[in-house]
Amino acid sequence: MPEETSPLLKDASTKTNYSDHRRNDSVPIGEEASSIEYITFEGPNILSSTRRWTYYFISVLCALSCASIMLFSIYAPSLQTRLGLSQLQINYISIFAEVGQYLPFFGFIADVYGAHVITIISIFCLTPTYLVAGFIYSNPNLLPPSYNLRILCACFFGIGAGSSSLFLGSFFTCTRLFPSNRILSISVPVASFGLSSFLEAQLTKIFIHETYVDVNGIFVTFAGMFLLTGISSTVTAYKSRTPVIDKLDASSTNKGSRLKKIFKEPTPWLLFLALLVSAGPIEMFVNNIGSLVLTLPDTPKTADQVSYFAIFSTAARLLSGVICHYIPLIKPAPLLTSILMVTALVHLSFAMEILPSSCFSLVSMINGWAYGSCFTIFPTMVMIKYGLSDFGSVWNCVMMSPAIGCMIFGVIYGKVYDRASFEPSNNALLLIEPLIKVFDTNQVVCLGPSCYQITFVSTAGSILVGALIILAVYKGSLRNSKSSLPVSFEASA
């Protein structure tokens, strides 16, 4: 092992040893430095500092555009009204978007073939689907209602997949440009994703009028924006490839056997389950803000609630990264456990009407903080444990868990909402309605706490379970110096 190491991608004139964050199973708790093995590479085509920072800046800007899917709740009520959909059907559209957003193979493609490949995919997933969705919204009577719903489900599946591939392409480019600095490699791009939903929520206000929302205008704007950012991200990801990064990608020849070994361990599955029961309910919340605010007596503005969620999510992503990087005395696992416990308490208080409807903004803020913390601390754990060479594959597999959680709680929310919208005599029929009937359109409107109480009691319990899983894994790691989950982070040199 070299005695001295330097940051990846230094000036071309410098002969340097480069850090390849690889897995090391013998990592004692709190000794992060020993979890890194080093490879030596000498090459003439290493990026200069100016080019490296330029590519990094462009990648962060592209990450700032990736969260348009988080704005679904802004125009969901308009989709429901114009196309005559029930809340359950609206939730099925958002579920298809979630499933597309968390497809597990984008990380593997980026690890093996390069981040530029998945950014190319994002262009074809985002621009055409937004245009088709806008056309369906503008022409609701052109096709039968059930066909409109099927097409929208397919479109939002593509939108979710495109958003994920564009962000992961930008994210992986950042991690490979600055692998030894987790503030630059993880916190900044992840925070940019959180900030993206805030900035785009402000952009959508141009299309929100007193009596209607110009949904087609929103979709056409996003289609053009993603065409530009997709091209920019593809060029940046390709140009930032160097012999060092190519060597890291070449190490993926044994990736299949390594991944089999990794997924035979309990740690990735525990992380998968913890993220499922923690982030899944929160994603359900943000996808349904638009209908939730309509159930309250003093209806808040949906765009403002999405902005509150985004602002606190972004702040949590940045602060969690700073804490993990510079304050080793504060362990990330107990910190995340505490945040999730507070979030569970807020969900329960909202369900039991302990928090009045006038405090709904607080609910949005706490959920945003918890969501941002999850998506900073979880990938940090994965990167330290499994290294840069396997980070994309492992994290992308773990990251698909919120889609399952959102699917489960989205169905619960839609069922509870629709049941409360019908007369009591129809409740039993609604509860036993087969899922195959989902494409039979039937618009309903719900008012009052009965629209969400059962849902938020269940989400409170789920988030609490997630906190306890993280705490249990942390406690278990303290009893084993070869724990599979590092929980103490030290500042990188």
User: Lowest mean pLDDT: which of 12-26, 157-171, 477-491?
Assistant: 12-26
User: Lowest mean pLDDT: which of 116-120, 299-303, 358-362?
Assistant: 299-303
Neighbours of 235 (CB within 10 A): 14
pLDDT digits (tens, 9 = 90+) for 360-371: 999 999 999 999
User: Lowest mean pLDDT: which of 8-17, 162-171, 251-260, 405-414?
Assistant: 8-17
Q: Please work out, in degrees rounded to the nearest 5, the angle formed at the alpha carbon of residue 350 by the alpha carbons of 344 and 353.
A: 140
Answer yes or no: is 467 within a domain: yes
Q: What is the mean pLDDT of the chain?
A: 78
Binned at pLDDT 50, 70 and 90, residue 119 comes out as very high
pLDDT digits (tens, 9 = 90+) for 41-82: 333 446 778 888 999 999 999 999 888 888 888 888 888 889
Q: Please work out, in degrees rounded to the nearest 5, the angle formed at the alpha carbon of residue 233 by the alpha carbons of 396 and 171.
A: 30
User: Lowest mean pLDDT: which of 33-42, 181-190, 258-267, 446-455?
Assistant: 33-42
Nearest to 17 by CA among 5, 32, 27: 5
Which one has a higher pLDDT value, 3 or 479?
479
Q: Angle, to 10 degrees, between the axis of helix 302-326 and the axis of helix 188-204?
A: 170
Which residues are CB-neighbours of 136 under 8 A, at least 6 positions away? 83, 142, 143, 148, 151, 152, 155
Q: Is the pLDDT of residue 249 over 70?
A: no
Q: Is the pLDDT of residue 141 over 80?
A: yes
Please state, in angstroms and rounded to a whole number, the distance separating the CA atoms of residues 271 and 263. Answer: 11
Per-residue b/e over 460-477, b at no fewer than 16 CB within 10 Å? bebbbbbbbbbbebbeeb
pLDDT digits (tens, 9 = 90+) for 324-336: 677 766 777 888 8
pLDDT of amino acid 439: 41
Q: Is the pLDDT of residue 490 over 50?
A: no
pLDDT digits (tens, 9 = 90+) for 254-264: 666 777 777 77
Structure tokens at 315: 């702040």
Answer yes or no: is 485 within a domain: no
Answer yes or no: is 9 within a domain: no
Which residues are CB-neighbours of 227 under 8 A, at least 6 positions away? 123, 126, 127
- CATH number assigned to the domain comprising residue 204: 1.20.1250.20
Q: Is the pLDDT of residue 280 over 60?
A: yes
Q: Is the pLDDT of residue 10 over 60?
A: no
How many residues are recorded in the chain?
493
Answer yes or no: is 488 within a domain: no
Q: Is the pLDDT of residue 190 over 50?
A: yes
Structure tokens at 458: 């269940």
Answer yes or no: is 233 within a domain: yes
Please state, in angstroms and rounded to a whole number, the distance separating the CA atoms of residues 63 and 171. Answer: 7
What is the DSSP secondary structure assignment for residue 185, as one 8-state letter? Answer: I
pLDDT of amino acid 33: 38
Place of tokens 């298809």: 96
User: Lowest mean pLDDT: which of 1-5, 138-142, 207-211?
Assistant: 1-5
pLDDT of amino acid 357: 81
Answer yes or no: is 412 within a domain: yes
Yes or no: say if 290 and 90 are a contact pair by the CB < 8 Å rule.
no
User: Lowest mean pLDDT: which of 91-95, 262-266, 448-452?
Assistant: 262-266
Yes or no: say if 192 and 63 are a contact pair by the CB < 8 Å rule.
yes
Q: Is the pLDDT of residue 474 over 50?
A: yes
Answer yes or no: is 487 within a domain: no
Nearest to 467 by CA among 346, 335, 340: 340
pLDDT of amino acid 418: 82
Radius of gyration (C-alpha) of the chain in whole angstroms = 23
Binned at pLDDT 50, 70 and 90, residue 155 comes out as very high
pLDDT of amino acid 429: 37
Element holding 394 (H helix, E strand): helix 360-399
Mean pLDDT of 243-271: 66
pLDDT of amino acid 247: 52
What is the DSSP secondary structure assignment for residue 43, as one 8-state letter? Answer: -
Domain count of the fold of the chain: 1
Answer yes or no: is 141 within a domain: yes
Please state, in angstroms and rounded to a whole number, the distance separating the CA atoms of residues 20 and 7. Answer: 10
Element holding 242 (H helix, E strand): none
Place of tokens 């803000």: 289
Q: Is the pLDDT of residue 421 over 80?
A: no
Mean pLDDT of 294-301: 80
Which one has a higher pLDDT value, 88 or 154?
154
User: Lowest mean pLDDT: which of 92-106, 363-377, 443-457?
Assistant: 443-457
Q: Which domain holds residue 340?
A: 17-478
pLDDT of amino acid 422: 65
